[in-house]
């Protein structure tokens, strides 16, 4: 039920005997990425992480340190004391990329169980831990909103990371929330499309329950469609049973399917 650590880092001594050490962001950076220079706020992407792997080397251009912002670290938590840490180190097009770590703080050591790379389209991301039977699954929920008041529209999507041989690998991404106001042609009624999805994690995969609601000005809801589909676990991958309701709708409306 508990994975084997791929690296152990000794925790700083507590201020008082028996107290719990509360790690600061710079301490997370230095423990997970030994090349972190706290004085210069840099990380050398060509140097190994705490597991002696070159996780961050893939996709890096050239050698040498890159400047990072220590305060941009994102920390999520799960049951049994597990934590998920994301250390963004660079920007790629419109995305931010960085080290993703599943870890747990023990009495004297920080145990790191798996490392990977998360590329996010927003800085507003929430990490969580799920279980698919005995397997641990890391999820990253991203949300992007625009507008104010009644015109505020939000989109959300979730990336699922499976753990294998000490690595966190992105195996699925599915839409969670989308709202689109379709412009009406001359003489037609404007419409609003609202999509939502919930996920149920099971030993053999993920069951997604999706709903699409169409509302028209002055009439309220005129159409509602429900769909249950699965991301089936097969050979270490999550294979979708069918296309998402939102994917089909986004094509019809001519809007982006993802964030």
Whole-number Cα distances in Å, 49 to 76, 95, 135: 20, 22, 24
CA distance 176 to 216: 22
pLDDT digits (tens, 9 = 90+) for 199-217: 999 999 999 999 999 988 7
User: For residue 162, which phi and psi values (nearest 5 degrees)?
Assistant: -95, 150
Six-digit token string for 81 = 């004391």
Which helix (H) or strand (E) segment is 233 a member of? strand 220-234
Question: Of 150-159, 227-236, 242-251, which gets the smallest average pLDDT?
Answer: 150-159
pLDDT digits (tens, 9 = 90+) for 134-189: 889 999 999 988 878 777 778 999 999 999 999 999 999 999 999 988 876 655 66
Is the pLDDT at 62 greater than 70, yes or no?
A: no
Question: Of 104-108, 121-125, 182-186, 198-202, which gets the smallest average pLDDT?
Answer: 182-186
User: Does residue 34 lie in a domain region?
Assistant: yes
Count of domains for the chain: 1
User: Does residue 252 lie in a domain region?
Assistant: no
Percentage of residues of the chain with pLDDT beyond 90: 64
Long-range pairs of 68-71 with CB within 8 A, sequence gap ≥ 24: 68/29, 68/36, 68/41, 68/42, 68/43, 69/41, 70/25, 70/26, 70/29, 70/38, 70/41, 71/25
User: Does residue 226 lie in a domain region?
Assistant: no
User: Does residue 35 lie in a domain region?
Assistant: yes
Is the pLDDT at 132 greater than 90, yes or no?
A: yes
| Residue of 207, 208, 138, 143 lying closest to 179 (CA atoms) | 143
Is the pLDDT at 131 greater than 70, yes or no?
A: yes
User: Does residue 112 lie in a domain region?
Assistant: yes
> Whole domain around residue 107: which residue ranges?
1-120
Query: If pLDDT is split at 50, 70 and 90, which confidence band does 220 have?
Result: confident
User: Does residue 82 lie in a domain region?
Assistant: yes
pTM listed for this prediction: 0.90
User: Does residue 237 lie in a domain region?
Assistant: no
CA distance 162 to 114: 10
* Beta-bridge partner residues of 132: 135
User: Does residue 36 lie in a domain region?
Assistant: yes
Is the pLDDT at 61 greater than 60, yes or no?
A: no
pLDDT of residue 17: 61
């Amino acid at each position: 039920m508990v994975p084997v650590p791929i690296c152990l880092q000794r925790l700083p001594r507590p201020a008082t005997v028996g107290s719990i050490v509360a790690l600061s962001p710079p301490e997370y950076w230095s423990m997970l990425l030994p090349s972190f220079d706290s004085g210069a706020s840099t990380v050398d992407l060509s140097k190994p992480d705490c597991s002696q792997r070159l996780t961050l080397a893939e996709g890096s251009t050239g050698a040498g340190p890159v400047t990072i912002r220590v305060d941009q670290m994102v920390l999520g938590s799960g049951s049994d004391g597990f934590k998920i840490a994301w250390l963004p180190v660079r920007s790629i097009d419109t995305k931010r990329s960085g080290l993703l770590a599943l870890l747990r703080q023990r009495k004297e050591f920080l145990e790191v169980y798996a490392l990977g790379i998360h590329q996010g389209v927003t800085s507003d991301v929430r990490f969580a831990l799920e279980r698919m039977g005995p397997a641990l699954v890391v999820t990253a929920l991203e949300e992007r909103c625009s507008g104010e008041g009644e015109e505020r529209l939000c989109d959300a999507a979730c990336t699922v990371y499976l753990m294998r041989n000490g690595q966190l690998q992105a195996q699925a991404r599915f839409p969670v929330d989308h709202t689109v106001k379709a412009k009406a042609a001359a003489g037609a009624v404007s419409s609003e499309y609202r999509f939502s999805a919930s996920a149920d994690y099971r030993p053999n995969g993920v069951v997604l329950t999706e709903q699409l609601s169409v509302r028209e000005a002055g009439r309220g809801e005129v159409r509602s469609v429900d769909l249950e589909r699965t991301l089936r676990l097969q050979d270490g991958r999550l294979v979708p049973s069918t296309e998402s309701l939102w994917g089909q709708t986004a094509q019809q409306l001519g809007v982006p399917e993802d964030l």
